Homo-oligomer: A and B are copies of this chain.
Amino acid sequence: MAKKNRHALVLAGGRGTRFWPRSRTKTPKQLLPFLGENSLLQETIERLRPAVPEGHLWVLTSEELRDAVRKQLPGVPAEQIIAEPAQRNTAPCLGLAAKIIHDLDENAVLGIFPADHHIEKPAAFRKLLAPAFAAAERGKLATIGIEPRWPETGYGYLQFPKGTGAGSMASFPLKRFREKPDLKTAKKFLASGNFFWNAGMFFWRADQFLGAMRSYMPKTAALLASLPNTKDKQFKAQLAKTYPKAENVSVDFGIMEKAAAENMVEGVPAGDIGWNDLGSWNAIYELLPRDAKGNSSKSQTLLHGSTGCYVEAGGKMVAVVGLDNLIVVDTPDALLIVHRDQAQRVGEVVKLLEHHGHHHLL
Protein backbone atom coordinates (compact mmCIF):
# COMPACT_ATOMS: atom_id res chain seq x y z
CA MET A 1 0.00 0.00 0.00
CA ALA A 2 1.60 3.22 -1.14
CA LYS A 3 0.67 6.65 -2.43
CA LYS A 4 0.61 5.19 -5.94
CA ASN A 5 -2.40 3.08 -4.91
CA ARG A 6 -4.49 5.99 -3.75
CA HIS A 7 -7.73 6.61 -5.63
CA ALA A 8 -10.32 9.35 -5.16
CA LEU A 9 -13.97 8.43 -5.70
CA VAL A 10 -16.56 11.18 -5.97
CA LEU A 11 -20.18 10.38 -5.13
CA ALA A 12 -22.34 12.18 -7.68
CA GLY A 13 -25.63 10.34 -7.66
CA GLY A 14 -27.77 12.69 -5.54
CA ARG A 15 -30.89 14.60 -6.58
CA GLY A 16 -30.37 17.86 -4.68
CA THR A 17 -34.10 18.39 -4.28
CA ARG A 18 -33.60 21.30 -1.90
CA PHE A 19 -32.26 23.28 -4.85
CA TRP A 20 -35.40 22.94 -6.94
CA PRO A 21 -36.32 24.50 -9.35
CA ARG A 22 -32.71 24.95 -10.49
CA SER A 23 -31.78 21.39 -9.52
CA ARG A 24 -33.70 18.81 -11.58
CA THR A 25 -33.40 15.05 -11.93
CA LYS A 26 -31.38 15.47 -15.15
CA THR A 27 -29.26 18.37 -13.90
CA PRO A 28 -29.09 17.98 -10.13
CA LYS A 29 -27.26 20.18 -7.65
CA GLN A 30 -23.79 18.65 -8.17
CA LEU A 31 -23.89 19.39 -11.92
CA LEU A 32 -24.75 23.08 -11.40
CA PRO A 33 -22.47 26.05 -10.81
CA PHE A 34 -23.54 27.87 -7.67
CA LEU A 35 -20.50 29.81 -6.55
CA GLY A 36 -18.49 30.27 -9.71
CA GLU A 37 -18.22 29.10 -13.30
CA ASN A 38 -17.70 25.43 -12.56
CA SER A 39 -20.21 22.95 -11.28
CA LEU A 40 -19.82 21.59 -7.76
CA LEU A 41 -18.75 18.27 -9.30
CA GLN A 42 -16.08 19.95 -11.42
CA GLU A 43 -14.85 21.86 -8.36
CA THR A 44 -14.71 18.64 -6.35
CA ILE A 45 -12.69 16.87 -9.05
CA GLU A 46 -10.26 19.78 -9.38
CA ARG A 47 -9.85 19.92 -5.60
CA LEU A 48 -8.88 16.22 -5.53
CA ARG A 49 -6.74 16.07 -8.66
CA PRO A 50 -3.46 16.99 -6.87
CA ALA A 51 -4.18 14.46 -4.09
CA VAL A 52 -3.98 11.21 -6.10
CA PRO A 53 -1.84 9.84 -8.93
CA GLU A 54 -2.87 10.85 -12.43
CA GLY A 55 -5.74 8.75 -13.71
CA HIS A 56 -6.92 7.77 -10.23
CA LEU A 57 -10.09 9.91 -10.18
CA TRP A 58 -13.41 8.03 -10.17
CA VAL A 59 -17.03 9.12 -10.16
CA LEU A 60 -19.96 7.09 -8.91
CA THR A 61 -23.29 8.26 -10.32
CA SER A 62 -26.62 7.00 -11.65
CA GLU A 63 -27.37 5.67 -15.14
CA GLU A 64 -29.53 8.74 -15.70
CA LEU A 65 -26.68 11.16 -15.01
CA ARG A 66 -23.80 9.26 -16.55
CA ASP A 67 -23.76 11.14 -19.88
CA ALA A 68 -24.06 14.55 -18.22
CA VAL A 69 -21.21 13.68 -15.85
CA ARG A 70 -18.99 12.52 -18.75
CA LYS A 71 -19.69 15.78 -20.56
CA GLN A 72 -18.64 17.83 -17.54
CA LEU A 73 -15.51 15.77 -16.91
CA PRO A 74 -13.72 15.19 -20.21
CA GLY A 75 -10.53 14.50 -18.22
CA VAL A 76 -11.96 11.45 -16.44
CA PRO A 77 -11.92 8.23 -18.52
CA ALA A 78 -15.38 6.90 -19.34
CA GLU A 79 -14.69 3.57 -17.61
CA GLN A 80 -13.95 5.42 -14.37
CA ILE A 81 -17.41 6.93 -14.30
CA ILE A 82 -19.39 4.15 -12.63
CA ALA A 83 -23.18 4.15 -12.85
CA GLU A 84 -25.12 2.22 -10.22
CA PRO A 85 -27.62 -0.03 -11.98
CA ALA A 86 -30.21 0.90 -9.31
CA GLN A 87 -30.39 3.26 -6.33
CA ARG A 88 -29.52 1.24 -3.21
CA ASN A 89 -28.08 3.90 -0.88
CA THR A 90 -24.35 4.29 -0.11
CA ALA A 91 -23.31 0.94 1.40
CA PRO A 92 -23.94 -1.25 -1.69
CA CYS A 93 -22.64 1.31 -4.15
CA LEU A 94 -19.43 1.77 -2.16
CA GLY A 95 -19.12 -2.00 -2.08
CA LEU A 96 -19.51 -2.07 -5.84
CA ALA A 97 -16.91 0.68 -6.29
CA ALA A 98 -14.49 -1.18 -4.01
CA LYS A 99 -14.95 -4.35 -6.07
CA ILE A 100 -14.45 -2.56 -9.40
CA ILE A 101 -11.35 -0.65 -8.31
CA HIS A 102 -9.95 -3.68 -6.48
CA ASP A 103 -10.21 -5.75 -9.69
CA LEU A 104 -7.95 -3.16 -11.31
CA ASP A 105 -5.59 -2.44 -8.39
CA GLU A 106 -5.62 -5.03 -5.64
CA ASN A 107 -3.74 -2.64 -3.33
CA ALA A 108 -6.17 0.22 -3.97
CA VAL A 109 -6.84 2.67 -1.13
CA LEU A 110 -9.94 4.76 -1.68
CA GLY A 111 -10.83 8.24 -0.56
CA ILE A 112 -14.55 8.90 -0.98
CA PHE A 113 -16.00 12.40 -1.32
CA PRO A 114 -19.46 13.90 -1.93
CA ALA A 115 -19.69 15.81 -5.22
CA ASP A 116 -21.94 18.59 -3.92
CA HIS A 117 -20.07 20.23 -1.07
CA HIS A 118 -18.13 23.46 -1.12
CA ILE A 119 -14.68 23.81 0.44
CA GLU A 120 -13.40 27.34 0.64
CA LYS A 121 -9.78 26.33 1.39
CA PRO A 122 -8.84 23.41 -0.86
CA ALA A 123 -5.14 23.41 0.09
CA ALA A 124 -5.96 23.17 3.80
CA PHE A 125 -8.44 20.41 2.93
CA ARG A 126 -5.81 18.44 0.98
CA LYS A 127 -3.46 18.48 3.98
CA LEU A 128 -6.03 16.40 5.87
CA LEU A 129 -5.94 13.70 3.25
CA ALA A 130 -2.43 12.47 4.19
CA PRO A 131 -3.31 11.30 7.75
CA ALA A 132 -6.68 9.98 6.53
CA PHE A 133 -5.16 7.92 3.70
CA ALA A 134 -2.39 6.80 6.09
CA ALA A 135 -4.97 5.49 8.57
CA ALA A 136 -6.64 3.59 5.73
CA GLU A 137 -3.30 2.18 4.66
CA ARG A 138 -2.88 0.89 8.22
CA GLY A 139 -6.13 -1.06 7.74
CA LYS A 140 -8.59 1.32 9.34
CA LEU A 141 -11.84 2.73 7.99
CA ALA A 142 -11.14 6.44 8.26
CA THR A 143 -13.13 9.63 7.99
CA ILE A 144 -12.71 13.39 8.36
CA GLY A 145 -14.54 15.29 11.10
CA ILE A 146 -15.59 18.91 10.55
CA GLU A 147 -15.35 21.18 13.59
CA PRO A 148 -18.97 22.09 14.40
CA ARG A 149 -19.83 25.79 14.20
CA TRP A 150 -23.39 25.60 15.57
CA PRO A 151 -25.60 22.87 17.11
CA GLU A 152 -26.77 21.51 13.75
CA THR A 153 -29.48 18.84 13.95
CA GLY A 154 -29.29 17.96 10.27
CA TYR A 155 -25.87 16.23 10.41
CA GLY A 156 -24.50 13.10 12.05
CA TYR A 157 -21.65 13.53 14.56
CA LEU A 158 -18.34 11.71 15.13
CA GLN A 159 -17.29 11.13 18.70
CA PHE A 160 -13.52 11.73 19.06
CA PRO A 161 -11.51 11.05 22.23
CA LYS A 162 -11.80 13.81 24.87
CA GLY A 163 -9.38 16.65 24.25
CA THR A 164 -8.99 16.07 20.49
CA GLY A 165 -7.90 19.36 18.92
CA ALA A 166 -9.34 20.51 15.61
CA GLY A 167 -6.70 20.66 12.88
CA SER A 168 -4.33 18.20 14.59
CA MET A 169 -3.26 16.56 11.29
CA ALA A 170 -3.42 13.13 12.86
CA SER A 171 -6.05 10.42 13.04
CA PHE A 172 -7.73 9.35 16.27
CA PRO A 173 -9.80 6.31 17.15
CA LEU A 174 -13.52 7.15 16.88
CA LYS A 175 -15.69 5.87 19.70
CA ARG A 176 -19.01 6.29 17.96
CA PHE A 177 -20.92 7.47 14.92
CA ARG A 178 -23.92 9.44 16.21
CA GLU A 179 -26.97 9.93 14.01
CA LYS A 180 -28.68 13.33 13.65
CA PRO A 181 -29.25 14.47 17.25
CA ASP A 182 -32.08 16.56 18.70
CA LEU A 183 -31.23 20.18 19.50
CA LYS A 184 -30.49 19.55 23.17
CA THR A 185 -28.05 16.76 22.34
CA ALA A 186 -26.48 18.82 19.54
CA LYS A 187 -25.83 21.64 22.02
CA LYS A 188 -24.16 19.18 24.41
CA PHE A 189 -22.01 17.86 21.54
CA LEU A 190 -20.96 21.39 20.62
CA ALA A 191 -20.08 22.26 24.24
CA SER A 192 -18.08 19.04 24.78
CA GLY A 193 -15.47 19.97 22.13
CA ASN A 194 -14.81 16.39 20.97
CA PHE A 195 -17.80 15.91 18.67
CA PHE A 196 -17.25 16.71 15.00
CA TRP A 197 -19.62 16.80 12.05
CA ASN A 198 -19.74 13.77 9.79
CA ALA A 199 -19.23 15.18 6.30
CA GLY A 200 -19.55 11.88 4.45
CA MET A 201 -15.86 11.56 3.52
CA PHE A 202 -14.34 8.09 3.92
CA PHE A 203 -11.00 6.36 3.41
CA TRP A 204 -10.29 2.65 3.26
CA ARG A 205 -8.42 -0.08 1.50
CA ALA A 206 -10.73 -1.67 -1.07
CA ASP A 207 -10.04 -5.15 0.31
CA GLN A 208 -10.58 -3.96 3.86
CA PHE A 209 -13.97 -2.49 3.00
CA LEU A 210 -15.05 -5.64 1.18
CA GLY A 211 -14.03 -7.54 4.32
CA ALA A 212 -16.09 -5.21 6.50
CA MET A 213 -19.06 -5.85 4.19
CA ARG A 214 -18.64 -9.58 4.63
CA SER A 215 -18.83 -9.05 8.41
CA TYR A 216 -21.66 -6.54 8.63
CA MET A 217 -23.68 -6.91 5.40
CA PRO A 218 -23.03 -10.51 4.39
CA LYS A 219 -25.98 -10.68 2.00
CA THR A 220 -24.78 -7.76 -0.11
CA ALA A 221 -21.15 -8.91 0.21
CA ALA A 222 -22.17 -12.29 -1.22
CA LEU A 223 -23.95 -10.65 -4.15
CA LEU A 224 -20.82 -8.66 -4.96
CA ALA A 225 -18.60 -11.73 -4.56
CA SER A 226 -20.81 -13.59 -7.05
CA LEU A 227 -19.94 -11.13 -9.81
CA PRO A 228 -17.24 -11.98 -12.36
CA ASN A 229 -14.11 -9.83 -12.69
CA THR A 230 -14.86 -6.31 -13.92
CA LYS A 231 -13.01 -7.01 -17.17
CA ASP A 232 -15.18 -10.05 -17.87
CA LYS A 233 -17.67 -9.67 -20.71
CA GLN A 234 -20.45 -10.94 -18.49
CA PHE A 235 -19.82 -8.36 -15.77
CA LYS A 236 -22.32 -5.71 -16.86
CA ALA A 237 -25.17 -8.10 -17.50
CA GLN A 238 -24.57 -9.95 -14.22
CA LEU A 239 -24.35 -6.67 -12.33
CA ALA A 240 -27.66 -5.45 -13.74
CA LYS A 241 -29.31 -8.65 -12.55
CA THR A 242 -27.58 -8.84 -9.17
CA TYR A 243 -27.34 -5.27 -7.92
CA PRO A 244 -31.05 -4.54 -7.37
CA LYS A 245 -31.07 -7.34 -4.75
CA ALA A 246 -28.56 -5.46 -2.57
CA GLU A 247 -29.65 -4.09 0.82
CA ASN A 248 -30.84 -0.49 0.80
CA VAL A 249 -28.62 0.76 3.62
CA SER A 250 -26.33 3.73 4.18
CA VAL A 251 -22.63 3.14 4.77
CA ASP A 252 -22.86 5.02 8.08
CA PHE A 253 -25.50 2.69 9.46
CA GLY A 254 -24.55 -0.51 7.64
CA ILE A 255 -20.78 -0.42 8.10
CA MET A 256 -19.27 2.52 10.00
CA GLU A 257 -21.33 2.36 13.20
CA LYS A 258 -20.62 -1.34 13.54
CA ALA A 259 -16.94 -1.00 12.67
CA ALA A 260 -16.56 1.86 15.18
CA ALA A 261 -17.89 -0.41 17.93
CA GLU A 262 -15.05 -2.80 17.06
CA ASN A 263 -12.39 -0.03 17.15
CA MET A 264 -11.80 -0.24 13.41
CA VAL A 265 -12.59 3.42 12.70
CA GLU A 266 -10.36 6.45 12.92
CA GLY A 267 -11.03 10.12 12.23
CA VAL A 268 -9.02 13.19 11.30
CA PRO A 269 -10.36 16.33 13.02
CA ALA A 270 -10.33 19.15 10.48
CA GLY A 271 -9.44 22.71 11.37
CA ASP A 272 -10.88 25.58 9.35
CA ILE A 273 -11.14 24.38 5.76
CA GLY A 274 -14.26 26.44 4.93
CA TRP A 275 -16.45 23.37 4.53
CA ASN A 276 -20.08 23.88 3.60
CA ASP A 277 -22.45 21.15 2.47
CA LEU A 278 -24.67 23.70 0.67
CA GLY A 279 -27.70 22.21 2.33
CA SER A 280 -30.21 24.75 1.03
CA TRP A 281 -30.61 27.97 -0.95
CA ASN A 282 -29.94 29.81 2.28
CA ALA A 283 -26.40 28.36 2.37
CA ILE A 284 -25.78 29.80 -1.11
CA TYR A 285 -27.14 33.17 0.05
CA GLU A 286 -24.77 33.12 3.01
CA LEU A 287 -21.70 32.40 0.88
CA LEU A 288 -22.32 35.06 -1.74
CA PRO A 289 -21.48 38.75 -1.47
CA ARG A 290 -24.34 40.96 -0.31
CA ASP A 291 -25.10 44.66 -0.58
CA ALA A 292 -25.66 47.06 2.32
CA LYS A 293 -29.26 45.87 2.66
CA GLY A 294 -28.20 42.23 2.81
CA ASN A 295 -29.51 41.50 -0.68
CA SER A 296 -27.70 39.15 -3.05
CA SER A 297 -28.64 38.69 -6.64
CA LYS A 298 -27.64 36.98 -9.87
CA SER A 299 -30.29 38.88 -11.87
CA GLN A 300 -31.44 42.34 -12.70
CA THR A 301 -33.37 43.29 -9.62
CA LEU A 302 -35.24 46.15 -8.10
CA LEU A 303 -35.45 45.38 -4.41
CA HIS A 304 -37.63 48.19 -3.12
CA GLY A 305 -38.07 48.37 0.64
CA SER A 306 -36.76 44.80 0.79
CA THR A 307 -33.79 43.34 2.68
CA GLY A 308 -32.00 40.03 3.08
CA CYS A 309 -33.22 38.66 -0.25
CA TYR A 310 -31.54 36.25 -2.66
CA VAL A 311 -32.69 36.37 -6.29
CA GLU A 312 -31.70 34.40 -9.36
CA ALA A 313 -33.85 34.63 -12.44
CA GLY A 314 -31.73 34.46 -15.58
CA GLY A 315 -32.10 37.63 -17.62
CA LYS A 316 -35.42 38.59 -16.09
CA MET A 317 -36.08 41.77 -14.10
CA VAL A 318 -37.29 40.88 -10.64
CA ALA A 319 -38.97 43.52 -8.47
CA VAL A 320 -39.46 42.69 -4.80
CA VAL A 321 -41.43 45.28 -2.83
CA GLY A 322 -41.74 45.52 0.94
CA LEU A 323 -40.50 42.01 1.70
CA ASP A 324 -37.59 40.66 3.72
CA ASN A 325 -35.52 37.47 3.67
CA LEU A 326 -36.99 35.92 0.54
CA ILE A 327 -35.32 33.45 -1.76
CA VAL A 328 -36.55 33.81 -5.33
CA VAL A 329 -35.45 31.34 -8.02
CA ASP A 330 -37.04 31.63 -11.42
CA THR A 331 -36.69 29.18 -14.32
CA PRO A 332 -38.61 28.93 -17.61
CA ASP A 333 -41.20 26.48 -16.26
CA ALA A 334 -41.11 26.91 -12.48
CA LEU A 335 -40.71 29.68 -9.94
CA LEU A 336 -39.81 29.23 -6.27
CA ILE A 337 -40.41 31.82 -3.58
CA VAL A 338 -39.47 30.77 -0.06
CA HIS A 339 -38.65 32.49 3.19
CA ARG A 340 -34.95 32.04 3.96
CA ASP A 341 -35.79 30.47 7.32
CA GLN A 342 -37.82 27.82 5.52
CA ALA A 343 -35.33 27.00 2.77
CA GLN A 344 -34.96 23.47 4.17
CA ARG A 345 -38.58 22.81 3.18
CA VAL A 346 -37.95 23.08 -0.56
CA GLY A 347 -37.42 19.32 -0.66
CA GLU A 348 -41.05 18.95 0.47
CA VAL A 349 -42.13 20.88 -2.62
CA VAL A 350 -40.41 18.33 -4.83
CA LYS A 351 -42.13 15.48 -2.98
CA LEU A 352 -45.50 17.18 -3.44
CA LEU A 353 -44.88 17.78 -7.15
CA GLU A 354 -43.97 14.11 -7.51
CA HIS A 355 -47.08 13.11 -5.57
CA HIS A 356 -49.27 15.27 -7.85
CA GLY A 357 -47.75 13.78 -10.98
CA HIS A 358 -45.81 16.84 -12.19
CA HIS A 359 -42.91 14.68 -13.34
CA HIS A 360 -41.83 17.12 -16.05
CA LEU A 361 -41.02 19.63 -13.29
CA LEU A 362 -38.77 17.33 -11.27
Contact = CB atoms under 8 A, between A and B. Distances in A.
Nearest to A335: B318
Residue of A322, A323, A328, A335 with most partner-chain B CB within 10 A: A335
A318 B338 contact: no
A35 interface: no
A337 interface: yes
B318 A349 contact: no
Contacts of A333: 315-317
Nearest to A329: B319
Interface stretch (A54-62, A81-89, A213-221, A339-347): A339-347
Number of copies: 2
A137 interface: no
Contacts of A345: 304-305, 321-322
A50 to B, nearest CB: 40
B339 A335 contact: no
Interface string A298-322: 0010101100000001011111111
A353 interface: yes
A326 B316 contact: no
A348 interface: yes
A169 interface: no
Q: Chain A at the B interface: mostly helix, strand, loop or mixed?
A: mixed
A345 B302 CA distance: 13
Contacts of A147: none
A328 B20 CA distance: 18
Interface string A88-132: 000000000000000000000000000000000000000000000
A330 interface: yes
Contacts of A68: none
Residue of A300, A302, A349 with most partner-chain B CB within 10 A: A302
A358 interface: yes
A347 B323 CA distance: 16
Contacts of A300: 358
A222 interface: no
Report, nearest first, the 10 A-B pairs whose CB atoms are least far apart.
Answer: A322-B342, A321-B338, A317-B334, A322-B339, A319-B349, A318-B335, A320-B337, A319-B336, A321-B345, A321-B342
